[in-house]
Amino acid sequence: MELRIDQNTVDRCRALASAIAEPVSAFIEAHSTVAVERSVLRLLGVDGVGADEIPIPNMLVDALSPQERSRGAALAFGKALAETGLEPRALGEAIAAGTYALADFAHVPDEAARGAIAPHVEASLARIRARRAEREERLRRLPQLPPPLLYVIVASGNIYEDRTAAVAAVESGAQIIAVIRSTGQSLLDFVPYGPTTEGFGGTYATQANFSIMREALDEVSEREGRYVMLTNYASGLCMPEIASMAALERLDMLLNDSMYGILFRDINMKRTFVDQHFSRMLNAYAGIIINTGEDNYLTTADAVEQAPAVLASQFINEEFAHRAGMPDEQIGLGDAYEINPDLQDGFLYQVAQAQLTRQIFPKAPLKYMPPTKHMTGDIFKGHLMDAMFNLTSVMTKQSIHLVGMLTEAIHTPFLGDRALSIENARYVMNTARHFGDEITFKPDGVIEKRAQNVLADASALLERVAEMGLMNAIEAAVFADVSRSPDGGRGFDGVFARAPEYWNPFEAALRQAQGDTAQAQGDTAGARGDAVGTGSSRVILSLSKDGLK
Amino acid sequence: MSSMIKPYGDTMNDGKVQLSFTLPVEWSEAADEAARQLVTKMGFTDVQVVEGRRIGAGFSLFVVYASTPQSIDISTIKAPSAKTASMSMEEIDAYVQEHLGRKIRVAGACIGTDAHTVGIDAILNMKGYKGDYGLERYQGFEAFNLGSQIAVEDFVRYAKEHRIDALLASQVVTQKGSDIKNFTALVELLEAEGLRDRVVLICGGPRVTNLMASELGYDAGFGRGTLPSEVAAFIATTLVARLAAAR
């Protein structure tokens, strides 16, 4: 089942995406953010909260003068480490308690700071490597069921209730559990601390909550004989901090988009571009699969009209991920089944888009999102729409399948809703497992023409974005009909230029590791592959093969 | 004909309903029987558990058909709709021009932490909903869509600073009553600021009813399936009526 599409246009799109990302990369390299600096401190081992429940990483970064901050938090913190001889966590707590101030150590030479930090950087990266190795070992011992991998959300607000729901969902057949965050969390400029039992529309992402859910899923993975993956959201103002916590707690996937927060949460674009880059470097190292958020374009604007924008955004997301060192196998590009159900032949368009994405990004673990926009209180019709979505997913070999809930428009899913929806997906995917291998598309038929048009329009759109520049294009509402200005939005005051002496020890080490891997793999290693047609269970497993040493 | 009505299965007054629910218990024949007795205790008769099965450790799902002995007198039910005036965009624009002679300034937002703008976008954005254009397209309206996660304080300040005639507050997330809390907070703040009577105050969302809105102190509430022109007509006619009353 292959669509005939013009490979030259695909290549042109990739070249344009690269041209679009280039000036943004230059900006990223010259800047850092408070969230990046906080995540450096977290990776060093700083944790806990001080007075008024303010996280210690925030207290430390907020206390830096603009000059100190522009050199990176690691230097100032390293100086204190060198002089006090404390462990990072204890030092953070001592500063929070007022025993010391980072400014007290300004006289310590930079070299001493670098020396004091180095062993902690190595220890932290070793811990991340160990968590990655644990995942690889478990995936070998407890193989996943074949994709599309069934992904369900839990969102009670209470991590302990979430744990119950997650285990029940796994027992019904779920293969990936996502803990949806409390609705406001993306706008918080700090990460809450400790286990939490109250949230709205979701549960706070905290390191303790990550650990509680990981433990529960590991337990049920052993019982079921298959590894269950855990997902959270590295988006919003704390994107890199969430990525660092996820790396330390062995999450397997993270929502991590290069533009989602800009468009849908009005987070400043410069903040987002800098934050997504460091987050993705960490994700690449930790072996975490990212999920991008193109599905959101379709919920706010018309799905038929927005199809080229979705594809264009996938190319841009892929390019930014490559630039952060991510291999294709970790880039879970997003798409969604959101065409108006009243549209005649809407299913044909859905198949065209899903198959087009599959062919253009053959190694990517594509994330396919269910209908949400056109779901109503009519759960019976909703269940049918989900079945059509399930069919599209299995026939086009999507990788990560977000199970649609019949009660989507009503409430966060009940335990029974999840069971019914998983059963729907299992039924459809089993009964139509090899359907896609048995059929061919009518040459120049509705589906093939539609795919060709979407690709051509995406290419034209990328030409336009390349000409305008990405930041201007976002301001001109090219994506999702939403306009954002380069210096507007939340979190802009947390973006700052790097001084010439700026130092982020993790960035340096991760870049070094990426260089080593690329060299070890030789010229064929490029993040981009030319293999066609995947969709076997190896898609997910293969990421574990050539881990960064 | 009696105004007393009951659910209809296939025969008048058979009272048939379908229920489905989960019980926190491993499935067994006793679990089926527990489901049957539970539904009987709810007051239903002729209870048939047509499906019962395990859905994970310690949980079972049931599908049940039963009859209710209850009926309701439809003639006593009051749920006034805000969707009274049926007018097209052109008619509304002409009406605003004739009776007000200026544009009506409308601001809408998803208040609190709610990030789901699908409802407010359907009403305000140019494109509209189901072929019915949004308020941005109207000659008679100036529409400001503030988007998602707007604090109630910011919404009220915006209304004051921009001399807004009508406020549209949207809530899609209803978990743990967050929608009611936010709607209530908005009314209370408007009253505290002395602005309540100066705006047409409307709430919307898939779970909103006009009855609930009036109980909360809103001028109108619009639920699922609402068209932008229905909201526009309500705002225009309400404003004009208020103006006439004030004269």
On whether the CB atoms of residues A293 and A299 are closer than 8 A, the answer is no
Residue A30 pLDDT exceeds 50: yes
- Of A507, A109, A32, the C-alpha closest to A273 is A32
Identify the pLDDT of residue A535.
36
**Residue A522 confidence (pLDDT):** 54
Its pTM surpasses 0.80: yes
**Rounded distance, CA B101 to CA B109, Å?**
26
Nearest CA among B181, B47, B206, B61 for reference residue B123:
B206
User: What is the DSSP code (8-state) at residue A180?
Assistant: P
Measured between beta carbons, which residues in chain B are less than 8 angstroms from residue A261?
A: none
Following CA atoms A166, A256, A355, A359 in sequence, which dihedral angle do they give, to the nearest 10 degrees?
Answer: -130
Q: Which residues does chain A have within 8 Å of residue B182's beta carbon, measured at their own beta carbons? A: none
Do the Cβ atoms of B149 and A300 come within 8 Å? Answer: no
Share of chain A above pLDDT 90, in %: 82
Which are the catalytic amino acids of A? 260, 295, 367
Contacts of B41 (CB under 8 A, 6+ apart): none
Most confident of A182-186, A295-299, B27-31: B27-31
For residues A503 and A74, the answer to whether their CB atoms sit within 8 Å is yes
Burial B144-183, CB ≥16 within 10 A → b, else e: bbbbbbbebeebbebbeeeebbbbbbbbbbbbeebbbebb
Res. B1 pLDDT band, cuts 50 70 90: low
**Smallest Cα–Cα separation from B209: which of A111, A238, A342, A377?**
A377
Look at residue A537 in the predicted model and tell me its pLDDT: 34
Residue A25 above 80 pLDDT?
yes
Task: Please report how the helices A239-248 and A34-44 are oriented relative to each other, as an axis angle in degrees rounded to 10.
Answer: 20
Q: What is the pLDDT of residues A249-260, one digit of tens each?
A: 999 999 999 899
* A-interface mutation test, from B19, B23, B59, B110, most A Cβ less than 10 A away: B59
| A302 contacts on B by Cβ (under 8 Å) | 127
Complex ipTM, two decimals? 0.79
Of B6, B16, B103, B127, the active-site residue reads B127
Nearest chain B residue to A343 by CA distance is: B130
Letter string b/e over residues A434-462, b meaning 16 or more CB atoms within 10 A of that residue's CB: eebeeeebeeeeebbbbbbebbebbbebb
- A246 touches A192 (CB < 8 A): no
B114 against B22, higher pLDDT = B22
Instruction: Indicate the range of A474-478, A526-530, B6-10, B132-136 predicted with least confidence.
Output: A526-530
The residue assigned the tokens 């009508």 is B166
Average pLDDT score over residue span A167-183: 92
In the predicted model, what is the mean pLDDT of chain A? Answer: 92
For A466-475, b where at least 16 C-beta lie within 10 A, e where not — what string?
beeebbebbb
- pLDDT band at residue A546 under the 50/70/90 scheme: very low
